[in-house]
Structure 1
Amino acid sequence: MKTKIINLFLLSFVFLIGCKTEQKEETKLKPYESLTAPTAKKIAEELTAHGDTRIDNYFWMRLSDEQKNAETPDAQTQDVLDYLNAENDYKDAAMKHTDSLQKTLFDEIVGRIKKDDSSVPYNDNGYSYYTRFEKGMDYALYCRKKLEDDAKEEIMLNGPEMAKGLAYFALGGLSVSPNNEMISYGIDTVSRRRYTIHFKNLVDDQILSDKLVNTTGSVAWANDNKTVFYTSKDSITLRANKIYKHVLGTDQSQDVLVFDEKDDTFSTFVYKSRSDKYIISGSYQTLSTEYRYLDADTPNGEWKVIQPRERDLEYGVAHFGDHFYIRTNLDAKNFKLVKTPVNATTKDNWVDVIPHRDDVLLQGFTPFKNHLVLSERKNGLSTIRVRKWDGNEDHYISFNDPAYVAYTSTNLDFDTNILRYSYTSLTTPSSVIDYNMDTREQTVLKEEEVLDPNFSKDNYVSERLYATARDGVKVPISLVYKKGTQKNAKTPLLLYSYGSYGSSTEPYFSSTRLSLLDRGFVFALAHIRGGEEMGRHWYEDGKLLKKKNTFTDFIDVGDFLVKEGYTSADHMYAYGGSAGGLLMGAVLNMKPELWNGVVAAVPFVDVVSTMMDETIPLTTFEFDEWGNPKNKEYYEYMKSYSPYDNVEAKEYPNILITTGYWDSQVQYWEPAKWIAKLRELKTDNNLLIMDCDMETGHGGASGRFERYKRTALNYAFMLDLEGINK
């Protein structure tokens, strides 16, 4: 691992009045080097599995929800809080000299955002729906108007008022009843993604007394306008495991359990079909799904299974006319589209509509009265295909950027020839577009405004490159930089990726990112295995016992960018969050000398211990992503790459870790333990800091602008290492 060269000032001999004075060589300290970093106490915990014992000196940092929620902290809780606060204090002191830069960055980022913005309205059931922000407000107003001339605005929910006085506020799952008179919504004020569902009468503007606690936040309305279906969570693992039926005006204790997902590797959900004909519930895990349906006119009726669950059989359902349309991987690695009669739904009745293709991944579909719209991915890029049901016309919407994202938006109307979709690229702000599927005419309804008089998308350049991985696979790279940026060994470059769950790293526009590009950074996306950019095989080659392909792909992309002269190891930075934080931890252990700085956001780094503990949220649900370490083969493979288990006594680059005390996805103790172990073992003198937000969870701050304070910290961390202070 490289350590940045400390400036040495060699002072010449000075002769004063015939007297020769020799001055000693002086070393200029970095701002943080005069500080004392926190030291976590060590309590050895032996963790034994398969005859192998791991010693975890920081296991004590783990707290239960009961301990975190207690009015008076016990001794262990106080020790944890003291350590987290000490790390925050150290981070504040170490970055104190960048306060002015952080403020400049925050003001700059927020200054580009339109303060009184509003969304493009969409129409549904006689109303036009939209959200809008008022100047100075962190939260949105949720509004609607009747589809008639001179209709008045109705503010259904007032986000700023609802969030007043709360350190964290998340509003989700908004759903209006079929008769347009009621709205349901979920609220989370802790950031643990456990929502309480409320109901509001939109006629008299009164909140109902009904409260549904410990839910995923959304409901599916039956057509009687008084019955809803919702999903509740296990109180310990937070797994969405039960579906209940609730009748307005009754207490939650009277709700009827309609489905209990007993298999702890599955989670469940419920929604209403786009046709409004059916209530559909589903159970899913990494490799299998199962759907059930109920006539929305008969909420007390019998649920029917569409296709019983099978190992390695995945499918998703939409209703149209007399058929269910199903996207499935049945004999189709890249998925295909089939249809089946509503009264004969098992797989032996499925008939191909769009057959499987080896070179095209079918990502989704949207049926209209006369058209079928397909969301596909080919050559690593998203596409939108429009096909008439009679097969007479079939075309793709054309896009010009070398790397871009295009996806269908809100399309609730079946009987229309207008498709609404969104488009963005690394150089092009996001646009909402209405597309006439018959004439192929396009109308841009809105393009994201960048409130900077000097901004023009023509000032930036996007490229698409391919790096050859060590096993010969070609890995796509999307990158962007400002015109005139010199690409050489002194050019700072930020490399980002995710690489898990089949989630593709998309080349979208970010006005926030301009703060780096305008200061000479190149921004690059590595489309590594573990995502789905190149098809389903791309995902399967980056999971389970092939997970290390994700890490080596990222390293090989970094090596390629250095070799091609875009940057050097002295000026290359890496960023990833959550499972992308695992990526950061792994590449730090595998090739620390390749990076000058790394930002690991809410990082999943204690892989073995987390996957061994089935009480931790998400664990059982993810055995098919990472493997089950109760199996020795998976245990040994996980242990070989788990960032926390592989910290060594060696030099590491500068590192910034971020986390949230209330994180339900990656518990705070993973990054806390990791930084403690790094401090204990690393042999360098580089900066190592952690920002633990004591009020939030996985997604960070909830306010529209507040979240950018952490972005400003991340950017200041890298810019400061580059000697850029304004």
Structure 2
Amino acid sequence: MDFAVELQRLAGRGGVAVSAPVAKKIPAERTHHGDTVVDHYEWLRDKDDPEVIAYLEAQNAFTEKNTEQLAGLRKQIFAEIKARTKETDMSVPSRRGKYWYYGRTHEGKQYATHCRCPIGDDDDWTPPEVSEDGALPGEEVLLDANVEARGHDFFSLGALSVSDDGNWLAYSTDVVGDERYTLRFKDLRTGALLDELIEDTAGGAVWSADARHVFYQTVDAAWRPDTVWRHDFGTDTADVKVFHEPDERYWVGMGSTRSDRYLMIGAGSKITSEVYVLDANDPTGEFVSVAPRVDGVEYSVEHAVIDDADYFVIVHNDIRGGSKAENFAIDIAPVDDPTNRRELFAHDPGRRIEDLDAFRDYLVLSYRREALPRIAIADLRTITGIPTEADFHEVTFAEELGTVGLAGNREWTTPRLRIGYGSFTEPSELIELDVTTGERTLLKRQPVLGGYDPADYVQSREWATAADGTRIPLSIVRRKGTDENKPAPLLLYGYGSYEASIDPYFSVSRLSMLDRGVVFVLAHVRGGGEMGRYWYENGKELQKKNTFTDFVSAAQYLVDEGWTTPSQMVAEGGSAGGLLMGAVANLAPQLFNGILASVPFVDALNSILDPSLPLTVIEWDEWGDPLHNPEVYAYMREYSPYENVVAQPYPPILALTSRNDTRVLYTEAAKWVARLQECSTSDNLVLLKTEMSAGHGGVSGRYKQWEEISFEIAWILQQTGALAPTDPTAP
């Protein structure tokens, strides 16, 4: 097909296009483990080929033409999001060193402005009052992202790191979307931008305590952060390579302990990790391993001071008592002898330990139980010696479903702890907790304009049953007026990979669906982390199909229980959740009247077979290694969405991707849509929308993001049949 001619046809008058652009077929063979596959759309992989670009643009035009009837609804939803959002706003200042740091947003501007103001007194821990319209006394602008973004279609801020003395800013930017950042330096005393420039960094930056050195990372050809460098700030000295990880399965990270006493480098695969530390007062010294890597053992390290003695607190899943601490345990060991470990928290199969944060006066445990995050605090001022589990007390909230965690505690010496909390119905809150008295002070609640009332909405927990009898938690929110006695429009969202937990969270844009009678459901399927490590283990590698069948069981449960009908239900997922969407489209197309897949990992087998592609080798611990293992190859061959598109009636499908995405290449969605359009026996439209200058996270800038969200919501409302607000007073 001449896509240039097709673009002209689609752009012309004549209403909705009746047929999608047809991708040409060029047979490309691959053979692995005796299995030969002919792939007709592999030619779409060349992102700079003019014919590929023309094909993507033709698909964009086809999608725009076939959704133009939703243009008015998109504008209405955008207006609703805008009307509910406090566009000129300010975050609660967070203390660090001699300054309060905070961000500002301004009406009409796409990005945030990052600011600070001096503290008045070393003993002052009460933040300045939020002032959206006027500058705080002594306010300085560290970085205005709107200025940095000028002239660019895409903008992403990576590092934003101020030296401990408060004099220097290191920041990095990506203006393409490929997650390769340019690191720059600014003198905060004069506002001058230095000539020093470091290209192609991984995004982060860590200052040494003396502000003479900056540590940063670079990536290899597969976009894997693999090397840590030390930049001798303000000199012409060549940057020093302080760490390199040659094993392609390992991802390298750089940071420091909360106490700022130690610099840390972490090297981790999906199943194994190792941490290296260096005294922050010796930034040119050698990083030393806390514990050697052991295949299958993960651990993290924090520094704590207890009774004036220095300890490393180690969260790990090592073997204890003859069995692995699958849901993790915690040890504590003297800094000068990390091998002399004693147990602080024993392994508990009903509790997934995620982290332990150490402050001067507190230890804070973050963990999960019953598919919800929780925190517990030990007050070191009231304890003699090493604390025990009994010294930790859980912070509780009244809501059945909610998300809680530490938030914005930059200083190790903070006398009070800041906690973030939110739910489906409660906008996110920043709460300051006095650990001694238990008193809670609300510092800020996410503003929702237009008379929002949480009492108008209801959230609940349901449990579906998988084919093997496993109970699958479902988190549900709806508008109170939605009639429970008859089926309702419903959006079912899923992810289910990398042990990532999708917890109940508030969303302004979601209100535009809820107010039109749509029920929103999170399916916490296996492969995620909501129910602990075993939940993850039973949804990865050779258990990956559980992720897909769990989602299908959740959808069937919602139909069987009268929540909805297939003609009113849409499924949504992105990235690895897009793989879930592709698999579900093949397994149970009859259950949905729409499938929305964002940056979908749908050509999974082809990608994981090619170690030259970004991040492939790292992913073998998640999906298995089909290149060398015939069993894994056969298993992935059975579920990989692109491989398994067949002649059957598919529901309407909307696939969203980005041409500069380095995590899930645009090729996956492009090939999948081409094959779906070829094979589907229904008249339902399969649409592809490609952002031509964006990355994995999609478009940048909040107004552009609102436009994209409005596009998605309008399509969801069309497919669920919920086009009119049920609340006439909604903005």
Given the two structures, how large is their TM-score scaled by the length of structure 2?
0.91
Matched with 2:21 is 38
Q: Which of 256, 262, 266 is residue 272 of structure 1 equivalent to?
A: 256
Q: Which amino acid aligns with 1:55?
A: V
Deviations 1:67-104 (A, max 9, x none): x4xxxxxxxx0110010000000001001111111111
Q: Which of 596, 600, 610 is residue 597 of structure 2 equivalent to?
A: 600
Is structure 2 residue 311 aligned with structure 1 residue 323?
yes
Matched with 1:167 is 153
Identity %: 42
Deviations 1:30-50 (A, max 9, x none): x98652211000000001100
Q: Which amino acid aligns with 1:225?
A: A
Matched with 2:230 is 245
Q: Which of 8, 32, 50 is residue 78 of structure 1 equivalent to?
A: 50
Q: Is the Cα–Cα contact under 8 Å of residues 177 and 221 in structure 1 kept in the other structure?
A: yes
Matched with 1:230 is 216
Q: CA deviation at 1:118?
A: 1.1
Q: Which amino acid aligns with 2:21?
A: P
Task: Decide which moves more: 616-625 or 147-156.
Answer: 147-156
Q: Which of 665, 688, 710 is residue 712 of structure 1 equivalent to?
A: 710
User: Are the structure 2 counterparts of residues 35 and 278 from structure 1 closer, same or farther at C-alpha, using a change threshold of 3 Å?
Assistant: same
Q: Is the Cα–Cα contact under 8 Å of residues 407 and 421 in structure 1 kept in the other structure?
A: yes
Q: CA deviation at 1:576?
A: 0.2
Q: Which amino acid aligns with 1:420?
A: R
Unmatched segments (≥5 aa) in structure 1: 1-30, 69-76
Q: Which amino acid aligns with 1:272?
A: S
Q: Which of 347, 352, 362 is residue 353 of structure 2 equivalent to?
A: 362
Is structure 2 residue 229 aligned with structure 1 residue 262?
no
Is structure 2 residue 518 aligned with structure 1 residue 521?
yes
Q: Which amino acid aligns with 1:245?
A: R
Q: Is the Cα–Cα contact under 8 Å of residues 517 and 722 in structure 2 kept in the other structure?
A: no
Is structure 2 residue 378 aligned with structure 1 residue 380?
no
Instruction: Provide the secondary structure at the position in 2 that maps to 1:210.
Output: strand
Count of residues in Structure 1 that have an aligned counterpart in Structure 2: 680
Instruction: Provide the secondary structure at the position in 1 that maps to 2:704.
Output: coil
In structure 1, distance between residues paired with 2:144 and 2:199: 21
Instruction: Provide the secondary structure at the position in 1 that maps to 2:368.
Output: strand
Deviations 1:301-324 (A, max 9, x none): 122111111101100111123111
In structure 1, distance between residues paired with 2:176 and 2:16: 36
Q: Which of 288, 296, 307 is residue 312 of structure 1 equivalent to?
A: 296
In structure 2, distance between residues paired with 1:508 and 1:367: 26
TM alignment of 1:12-411, pairs within 5 A: 34-63=17-46, 68=48, 77-148=49-120, 151-234=137-220, 236-250=221-235, 254-321=238-305, 322-331=310-319, 332-346=325-339, 349-389=340-380, 390=383, 391=387, 393-411=391-409
In structure 2, distance between residues paired with 1:280 and 1:299: 11
Q: Which amino acid aligns with 1:307?
A: A
Is structure 2 residue 481 aligned with structure 1 residue 484?
yes
In structure 2, distance between residues paired with 1:412 and 1:570: 49
In structure 1, distance between residues paired with 2:557 and 2:548: 14
Q: CA deviation at 1:484?
A: 1.4
In structure 1, distance between residues paired with 2:167 and 2:196: 16
Matched with 2:422 is 424
Deviations 1:562-594 (A, max 9, x none): 111000111111000000000000000011100
Q: Is the Cα–Cα contact under 8 Å of residues 210 and 251 in structure 1 kept in the other structure?
A: no
In structure 2, distance between residues paired with 1:395 and 1:623: 39
Matched with 1:569 is 566
Given the two structures, how large is their TM-score scaled by the length of structure 1?
0.92
Q: Which amino acid aligns with 2:229?
A: Y
Q: Is the Cα–Cα contact under 8 Å of residues 487 and 567 in structure 1 kept in the other structure?
A: no
In structure 2, distance between residues paired with 1:416 and 1:93: 56
Instruction: Provide the secondary structure at the position in 2 that maps to 1:519.
Output: coil
Q: CA RMSD in A?
A: 1.5
Q: Is the Cα–Cα contact under 8 Å of residues 463 and 478 in structure 1 kept in the other structure?
A: yes
Matched with 1:688 is 686
In structure 1, distance between residues paired with 2:577 and 2:15: 27
User: Are the structure 2 counterparts of residues 573 and 488 from structure 1 closer, same or farther at C-alpha, using a change threshold of 3 Å?
Assistant: farther
In structure 2, distance between residues paired with 1:677 and 1:416: 57
In structure 2, distance between residues paired with 1:340 and 1:82: 60
Instruction: Provide the secondary structure at the position in 2 that maps to 1:414.
Output: coil
User: Are the structure 2 counterparts of residues 279 and 393 from structure 1 closer, same or farther at C-alpha, using a change threshold of 3 Å?
Assistant: closer
TM alignment of 1:525-674, pairs within 5 A: 525-630=522-627, 631-674=629-672
Matched with 1:20 is none
Instruction: Provide the secondary structure at the position in 2 that maps to 1:156.
Output: strand
Q: Which amino acid aligns with 1:141?
A: T
Q: CA deviation at 1:352?
A: 1.1
Q: Is the Cα–Cα contact under 8 Å of residues 221 and 272 in structure 1 kept in the other structure?
A: no
In structure 2, distance between residues paired with 1:32 and 1:345: 71
User: Are the structure 2 counterparts of residues 485 and 144 from structure 1 closer, same or farther at C-alpha, using a change threshold of 3 Å?
Assistant: same
Q: Is the Cα–Cα contact under 8 Å of residues 184 and 218 in structure 1 kept in the other structure?
A: no
Q: CA deviation at 1:713?
A: 1.3
Q: CA deviation at 1:250?
A: 3.9
Matched with 1:16 is none
In structure 1, distance between residues paired with 2:211 and 2:427: 40
Instruction: Provide the secondary structure at the position in 2 that maps to 1:43.
Output: coil
Matched with 2:728 is none
Matched with 1:12 is none
Q: Is the Cα–Cα contact under 8 Å of residues 489 and 571 in structure 1 kept in the other structure?
A: no
Matched with 2:125 is none
Task: Decide which moves more: 607-616 or 641-650.
Answer: 607-616
Q: Is the Cα–Cα contact under 8 Å of residues 567 and 720 in structure 2 kept in the other structure?
A: no
Matched with 1:8 is none
Q: CA deviation at 1:274?
A: 1.4
Q: Is the Cα–Cα contact under 8 Å of residues 257 and 302 in structure 2 kept in the other structure?
A: yes
Q: CA deviation at 1:294?
A: 1.4
Q: CA deviation at 1:597?
A: 0.4
Deviations 1:538-571 (A, max 9, x none): 0000000000000010000100011110001111
Is structure 2 residue 413 aligned with structure 1 residue 415?
yes
Deviations 1:413-458 (A, max 9, x none): 33344111110111110000001111111011000111112x2100
Q: CA deviation at 1:161?
A: 1.1
Q: Is the Cα–Cα contact under 8 Å of residues 27 and 38 in structure 2 kept in the other structure?
A: yes
In structure 2, distance between residues paired with 1:91 and 1:499: 28
Q: CA deviation at 1:488?
A: 5.3
Q: CA deviation at 1:500?
A: 0.2
In structure 2, distance between residues paired with 1:593 and 1:185: 49
In structure 2, distance between residues paired with 1:483 and 1:195: 46
Is structure 2 residue 416 aligned with structure 1 residue 433?
no
Q: CA deviation at 1:622?
A: 1.0
Deviations 1:128-161 (A, max 9, x none): 0000112211111110011017841010111111
Q: Is the Cα–Cα contact under 8 Å of residues 223 and 614 in structure 2 kept in the other structure?
A: yes
In structure 2, distance between residues paired with 1:462 and 1:721: 23
Matched with 1:4 is none
Unmatched segments (≥5 aa) in structure 2: 1-13, 122-135, 320-324, 725-731
Deviations 1:594-651 (A, max 9, x none): 0010100000001111001112111111111000112101111011000000000110
Task: Decide which moves more: 549-558 or 31-40.
Answer: 31-40
Q: Which amino acid aligns with 2:676?
A: L
Q: Is the Cα–Cα contact under 8 Å of residues 228 and 244 in structure 2 kept in the other structure?
A: yes
Q: Is the Cα–Cα contact under 8 Å of residues 84 and 692 in structure 1 kept in the other structure?
A: yes
